[in-house]
């Protein structure tokens, strides 16, 4: 008969072995986002990375071409029609023995909230810079979020096959604007618009030359050219590239892993995503430089180790990704332990159990059943109607709560009404779904009633998404009427009641459905000041600004 001591020793051995297995699997994960200003080429780079990892066999433009598969991450009809990303997407694929979880984010400022939520789920970011435009407004904002969250940043200077600025000038701008020391890993041979090849700063005695494929449909052929041959064939372009690299190296601009992880430096790569030039070195850098999952901060202080029992963060909820099934999927970043399909976990917000019977691994719009997942992986839980953005899931008996997701101050407001009153049920269901996903914030008041909710957005393009999805997915077309407000402040029930009854202050108070916060809406700051004078005892608090 096995003694109690032997059983205890066996359990401890299994526990230690399980922890070691989780730590080993976590070390193989790289979870990163691609961020940039609109039109810098994020979706194109996302596709190029997947192409080089052989996760897809042929690349296509966002609009698609005959007989060619389109961008896997842009799956909404509105995205395909406009050629932009309006929602984040997840692509998981293997490369060099690692599992890469790539999160493609919207670049447009109108969709800042979605991008900020994604950044709560990654360990690294690839910042894309247009060779001609340099650092742009949205790039600056997203970098600030990365810096605030302690997310290390790898920089890719894109579109070097087109006319643009000087390479050294772009590095100076990065250091001046971000206080971040750029450390080139690849360097262009030839100026922007006349790219002859790339030099790897770690092996400067050779050049990488690329043979483009028609339309960039396949990975560009990469040829290693010895330095002597490059000097003879490329002349002054090669000489200038080598001299610039030597100058930078003499100035201490060399990659240092510790400085990179501390957010003091950024490795820099050059290339052209649309023709797949310079993408392979960037993909290698994600494996070699990006950090694997580590301990996650908890809302009450302290951290959750990767080898602790299972915990996960819901960072995105999306409905109707599969039009044939009209289902709802919650994206969960595994933060610790092992996720096992079919187990019952606990939703921290309610303390209630949640069954994980339908769990998928996601690749854009495509998905497949997943049985297990490890820290860094993103799992899609299907038909997860109880889950909300920002929820923490954890193993029963091992509680954890991660910090809440930020909600930003809306600046645009519209009343929504169904075009067809007979579709009121579908209208209410669709509006509630879009609120839960965070597409817009939904506000209601006793004055207007729930049949005429007010939609609040950071940017006006969010309303285009609402109109398209309400008509296409919920068969409930909406009529939107703009309200004359541009400023939102948080108040209490007394302040809200006073504002709605006041004849001295122009404004309106509503309640945010998601968290029951009372919001006071004003046309301008002057009216907000009038409110403070009229109701000195009522709070009027600023909200987190997405465009700060």
Which residue in 130, 46, 137, 139 sits closest to 88, CA to CA? 46
- List the structure tokens of 503: 């004849």
What's residue 323's pLDDT?
58
The predicted model gives 500-516 an average pLDDT of: 92
Of the three residues 405, 427, 460, the one that is the final residue of a domain is 405
**Confidence tier at 61 by pLDDT (50, 70, 90):** very low
Minimum mean pLDDT range among 165-169, 362-366, 469-473, 479-483: 362-366
pLDDT of 327 over the 80 cut = no
Residue 234 lies in a domain: yes
Exposed e or buried b per residue across 146-166, where buried means at least 16 C-beta atoms within 10 angstroms of its C-beta: beeeebbbbbbbbbbbeebbe
Q: Which residue has better confidence, 296 or 327?
A: 296
**Confidence tier at 66 by pLDDT (50, 70, 90):** very low
CATH number reported for the structural domain that contains residue 302 in this entry: 3.40.50.300
Residue 195 lies in a domain: yes
Residues 22 and 38 grouped into a single domain: no
SS3 476: coil
Average pLDDT, rounded, for the chain: 86
- Report pLDDT digits (tens) over 370-421: 899 999 999 989 878 889 889 999 999 999 999 988 777 899 999 999 999 9
Residue 316 lies in a domain: yes
Residues 311 and 256 grouped into a single domain: no
Residue 548 lies in a domain: no
Binding positions for GTP: 104-108
Q: Give strand ranges (E) for 349-406.
A: 352-355, 359-363, 366-369, 372-373, 378-382, 392-394
What's residue 547's pLDDT?
42
Binding positions: 104-108
- List the structure tokens of 464: 């285009």
Residue 543 lies in a domain: no
Residues 84 and 149 grouped into a single domain: yes
Minimum mean pLDDT range among 150-164, 193-207, 436-450: 436-450
Residues 319 and 269 grouped into a single domain: no
Residues 52 and 194 grouped into a single domain: yes
pLDDT of 535 over the 50 cut = yes
**Confidence tier at 85 by pLDDT (50, 70, 90):** very low
Residues 418 and 466 grouped into a single domain: yes
Residues 314 and 254 grouped into a single domain: no
Of the three residues 240, 264, 289, the one that is the final residue of a domain is 289
Q: Which residue has better confidence, 141 or 261?
A: 261
Residues 23 and 167 grouped into a single domain: no
β-strand pairing of 98-104 with 29-35: parallel
Instruction: Pick from 132-136, 266-270, 300-304 the range whose average pLDDT is largest.
Output: 266-270
Helix boundaries (H) for 357-458? 424-437
What's residue 224's pLDDT?
95
Range of the domain at 165: 34-89+100-289
Residue 17 lies in a domain: yes
Residue 212 lies in a domain: yes
Of the three residues 268, 289, 310, the one that is the final residue of a domain is 289
What's residue 268's pLDDT?
98
Residues 366 and 422 grouped into a single domain: no
Residues 285 and 300 grouped into a single domain: no
Residues 242 and 386 grouped into a single domain: no
What's residue 71's pLDDT?
44
What's residue 91's pLDDT?
85
Report yes or no: 139 and 105 within 8 Å, Cβ to Cβ. Answer: no
CATH number reported for the structural domain that contains residue 451 in this entry: 3.30.70.3280
**Confidence tier at 57 by pLDDT (50, 70, 90):** low
pLDDT of 295 over the 60 cut = yes
Residues 334 and 440 grouped into a single domain: no
Residue 434 lies in a domain: yes
What's residue 548's pLDDT?
42
pLDDT of 157 over the 90 cut = yes
Helix boundaries (H) for 179-308? 227-234, 236-250, 257-261, 279-289
Q: How many domains does the chain have?
A: 3
């Amino acid at each position: 008969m096995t003694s109690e001591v032997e059983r205890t020793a066996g359990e401890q051995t299994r526990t230690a072995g399980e922890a070691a297995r989780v730590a080993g699997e976590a070390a193989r994960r790289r979870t990163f986002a691609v961020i940039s200003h609109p039109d810098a080429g994020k979706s194109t780079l996302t596709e190029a990375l997947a192409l080089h990892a052989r996760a897809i066999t042929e690349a296509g433009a966002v609009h698609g071409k005959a007989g060619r598969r389109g961008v896997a991450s842009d799956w909404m009809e509105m995205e395909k029609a406009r050629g932009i990303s309006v929602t984040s997407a997840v692509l998981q694929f293997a490369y060099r023995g690692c599992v890469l979880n790539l999160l493609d984010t919207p670049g447009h400022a109108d969709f800042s909230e979605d991008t900020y939520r994604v950044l709560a789920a990654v360990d690294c970011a690839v910042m894309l810079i247009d060779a001609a435009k340099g650092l742009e407004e949205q790039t600056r904002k997203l970098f600030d979020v990365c810096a605030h969250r302690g997310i290390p940043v790898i920089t890719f200077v894109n579109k070097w096959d087109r006319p643009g600025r000087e390479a050294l000038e772009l590095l100076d701008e990065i250091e001046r604007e971000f206080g971040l020391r750029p450390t080139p890993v690849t360097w262009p041979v030839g100026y922007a618009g006349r790219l002859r090849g790339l030099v790897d700063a770690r092996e400067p005695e050779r050049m990488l030359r690329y043979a483009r494929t028609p339309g960039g449909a396949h990975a560009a052929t990469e040829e290693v050219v010895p330095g002597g041959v490059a000097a003879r064939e490329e002349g002054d372009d090669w000489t200038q590239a080598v001299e610039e690299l030597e100058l930078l190296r003499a100035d201490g601009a060399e990659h240092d892993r510790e400085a990179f992880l501390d957010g003091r430096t950024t490795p820099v790569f050059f290339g052209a995503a649309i023709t797949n030039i310079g993408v392979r070195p960037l993909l290698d850098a994600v494996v070699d430089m990006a950090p694997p999952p580590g301990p996650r901060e908890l809302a009450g202080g302290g951290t959750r180790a990767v080898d602790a029992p299972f915990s996960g963060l819901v960072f995105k909820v999306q409905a109707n990704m599969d039009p044939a099934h009209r289902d709802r999927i919650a994206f969960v970043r595994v933060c610790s332990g092992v996720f096992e399909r079919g187990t019952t976990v606990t939703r921290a917000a309610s303390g209630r159990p949640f069954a994980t019977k339908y769990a998928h691994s996601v690749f854009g719009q495509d998905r497949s059943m997943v049985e297990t997942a490890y820290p860094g992986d993103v799992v899609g839980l299907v038909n997860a109607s109880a889950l909300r953005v920002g929820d923490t899931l954890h193993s029963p008996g091992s509680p954890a709560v991660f910090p809440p997701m930020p909600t930003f101050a809306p600046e645009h407001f519209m009343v929504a009404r169904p075009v067809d009153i007979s579709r009121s049920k579908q209208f209410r269901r669709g509006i509630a779904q879009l609120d839960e996903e965070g597409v817009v914030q939904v506000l209601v008041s006793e004055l207007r009633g729930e049949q005429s909710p007010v939609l609040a957005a950071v940017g006006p393009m969010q309303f285009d998404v609402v109109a398209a999805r309400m008509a296409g997915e919920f068969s409930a077309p909406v009529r939107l009427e703009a309200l004359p407000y541009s400023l939102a402040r948080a108040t209490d029930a007394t302040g809200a009641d006073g504002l709605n009854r006041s004849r001295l202050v122009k404004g309106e108070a509503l309640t945010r459905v998601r968290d029951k916060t009372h919001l006071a809406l004003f046309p301008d700051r002057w009216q907000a000041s009038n409110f403070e004078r009229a109701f000195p005892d009522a709070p009027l608090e600023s909200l987190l600004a997405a465009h700060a």
